[in-house]
Every structure is written in C-alpha cells, then in structure tokens.
Amino acid sequence: MELVTRDLALQRGDRLLISELGLAMGPGEIWTVLGPNGSGKSTLLLALAGVLRPAAGEILLDGKRLERWLPAERGQRVAWQGSLPSAEFGFTVHERLDLVPSHTRKPGAALERLELDALAGRRLFELSAGERQRVELAALWLRDAPIWLLDEPTTHLDLRHQVYCLDLLREEARAGRTLIVVLHDLTQAHAIADRALLLRADESHEAGSSNELLRPEELERVFGTRLHVAVSPEGSALIPAYHSPGSERNTE
C-alpha cells in the first residue's frame, strides 16, 4: 500500500502552510516530519488521514484519491494517533480500545504490549497524561492498518517508554508498515527515520533521506537555533545548545 501526494497545498483558515508537496511513501519506510511550530506538521497528518481537505493537489492511497474512499475503508488502511481524546465522558481504557476497528490484533494483546494491563478497567480521566498517551499507542497498535500516522508519539512519555515506543515503531516498519511520524526530538528522529520531511515556517519544505537532511547545518537553519552534536560509541545525538547559568552566551 502506497501513500502519494501530488502538488499538495494545505491551508488553515486563510494561512497557506504547505505548497507543492510531492511525496511517495511506501511499505517499510519510516518518515519523520520535522519543523517549527505552525509549519503544518499536524495539518499534514490530518490531510493524510483524510480528515482535512487539501487546498490544492491530491493525495492518493493505493492510486485512488483519498476522498474517494469510504470513511470505513479508509479507516482500515490509514491509522492516526494524535492529540489525546476527550476523557469527559468517562470511558474506561478497555472501552476506549474497543472502539478501534481491528481484524487480527486483540485488545488484551495491545494492553500487554504497552504495559497497560493493570489499568484496563480505569477510566481515562483517572490516568496521567503519559498513561493516556500509552493508551493511544495501544489503540494505534491494535489497528492493523498498513499506514500509521503518528503526531508526536513520545510526548508525555517517561524516558523508558520513549525508548520502548521507538523500538515498537521500528519493529512495525520492519513488518512492512509505512510510518509517518511527527517528532520534536531530533535524536529520536535520527534514531528511527530513514526518510525525512523538513517543513519551514514559510510554506517551503525539503524531503529526502534522513542521513542527508538531518544534518546540524540544515536543521539549524530550519529551527533557527544552534545545535550540538554529541557523539558516543553507540551513536550520535543532536542537542539544542541550551544556555546554562554562568556560561557565556556564545560557546565554541
């Protein structure tokens, strides 16, 4: 299953966020979408999920325009994880997972996979944000959709579960799923993605292999902040150059 965009333009209100975007995302690929606030990352995911109509251009799922798919059929092929759902109405974790269209995977296995067994009977509003985020990841895992759209999957998670989450994503991509992942942590992006899409604050963008695009010079331009590269035997990390108290504003 392939997801393709052609000359895609996306708008929020009268603000143009993305224009002339042409991407082809295939099985087994992990794409990361990076960019400053308001550059259109979440908007792009909503458009790819079929929830938001493009201002121009088209999105093709398996060669067929996304809006031509019936919502239920589209829902079986494209899964989305984003902002936490409303907990106002008092659903339990188990009830929330029951709302996911799933054919092969079982809620019990999803609970186990995301280490939520003990919380199954709890109501969503009794959980912490990190626990609710894991419930959302379990809901995503439960869907056997070939394409997963993830909007900041590691947000709210503690360190161990951040690592756990990225391992899980890598494993799913190896099984042939297409993953499109919005991230703010450059090290995490570098760790899992093989393709990258950089969205700038204007409507321009750049797409390509993550090795080429996730370089410090490139990212410093996109985010407008200085970066450090930390190298260790197990890999490298890109860290924003935070100013610690007492240090000079300009190091190096």
Q: Of 98 and 171, which has the nearer Cβ to another protein? A: 98
Contact, 122 vs 92, CB < 8 A? yes
Other CB atoms within a 10 A radius of the CB of residue 243 amount to 12
What are the tokens at 35?
Answer: 């960019």
Asked if 74 interacts with another protein (CB under 8 A), we say yes
Asked if 51 interacts with another protein (CB under 8 A), we say yes
Quote the least distance from Cβ 83 to another protein, whole Å.
8
Rule CB under 8 A: choose which of 46, 173, 219, 222 binds another protein: 46
Asked if 47 interacts with another protein (CB under 8 A), we say no
| Cα–Cα nearest to 137, from 172, 87, 176, 103 | 172
* Largest distance between two CA atoms of the chain: 59
Name which of residues 98 to 157 contact another protein (CB under 8 A).
98-101, 120-121, 123, 125-126
Asked if 169 interacts with another protein (CB under 8 A), we say no
Contact, 72 vs 42, CB < 8 A? no
Quote the least distance from Cβ 98 to another protein, whole Å.
8
Count of positions on this chain that bind another protein (CB under 8 A): 35
Query: Quick one: which segment of 74-82, 155-163, 184-192, 229-237 binds another protein (CB under 8 A)?
Result: 74-82
Q: Using alpha carbons, list the distances in angstroms from residue 101 to 71, 79, 139, 166.
A: 12, 10, 9, 23
| Cα–Cα nearest to 190, from 170, 174, 218, 211 | 211
Query: Quick one: which segment of 66-74, 110-118, 175-183, 202-210 binds another protein (CB under 8 A)?
Result: 66-74
Query: Quick one: which segment of 33-41, 71-79, 215-223, 229-237 binds another protein (CB under 8 A)?
Result: 71-79
Q: Of 56 and 99, which has the nearer Cβ to another protein? A: 99
Rule CB under 8 A: choose which of 62, 73, 158, 167 binds another protein: 73
Q: Using alpha carbons, list the distances in angstroms from residue 162 to 113, 114, 119, 187, 237.
A: 14, 11, 19, 12, 15
> Residue 105 in 3-state DSSP?
coil
Rule CB under 8 A: choose which of 17, 25, 61, 79 binds another protein: 79
Asked if 89 interacts with another protein (CB under 8 A), we say yes
**Alpha-carbon dihedral 115, 120, 122, 126, rounded to 10 degrees:** 30
Residues in contact with another protein by the rule CB under 8 A: 46, 49-51, 71-76, 78-80, 82-83, 85-92, 94-96, 98-101, 120-121, 123, 125-126
